[in-house]
Amino acid sequence: MPSPVIELHVNNHPGVMSHITGLFSRRAFNLEGILCGPVADGSRSVMLLMVNEDRRLSQLIKELERLHDIHEVSLRHDVDATFFDPMRTEA
């Protein structure tokens, strides 16, 4: 089974990434990979956070949903993990 990926739709401004990664750090929850990029007019971004399955994952998602700059949170199991591999080569 692929690693779960948390998909976040967030406001795009300085400090958002720090607030989100700080939450993971305070909970001693490791991030295996991070991808982030602006969407539409650039006022929002989509973040993909690859994590390991953990019994605390549902609690962490609830805490993410309460952060001011996050508009949407979803847990996905269908993301191709090779996107997180810095050594991958294009076919």
Local structure of residue 3 (DSSP, 8 states):
P
**Hey, CA dihedral for 39, 84, 25, 23, is it positive or negative?**
positive
Q: What are the tens digits of pLDDT across the range 33-70?
A: 999 999 999 999 999 999 998 899 999 999 999 999 99
The count of C-alpha atoms lying within 13 angstroms of the C-alpha of 70, restricted to the half-sphere facing its C-beta, is 21
Average pLDDT value for residue range 26-36 = 94
Selection from 26, 18, 25, 19 nearest residue 67 by Cα: 19
> Domains of the chain (ranges plus CATH)?
5-80 (3.30.70.260)
pTM exceeds cut of 0.75: yes
Q: What is the pLDDT of residue 2?
A: 75
Element (H, E) at 59: helix 57-65
Q: Does the pLDDT at position 86 exceed 70?
A: yes
Residue 11 pLDDT exceeds 90? yes
Q: Residue 38 has which token pair?
A: 């602006």
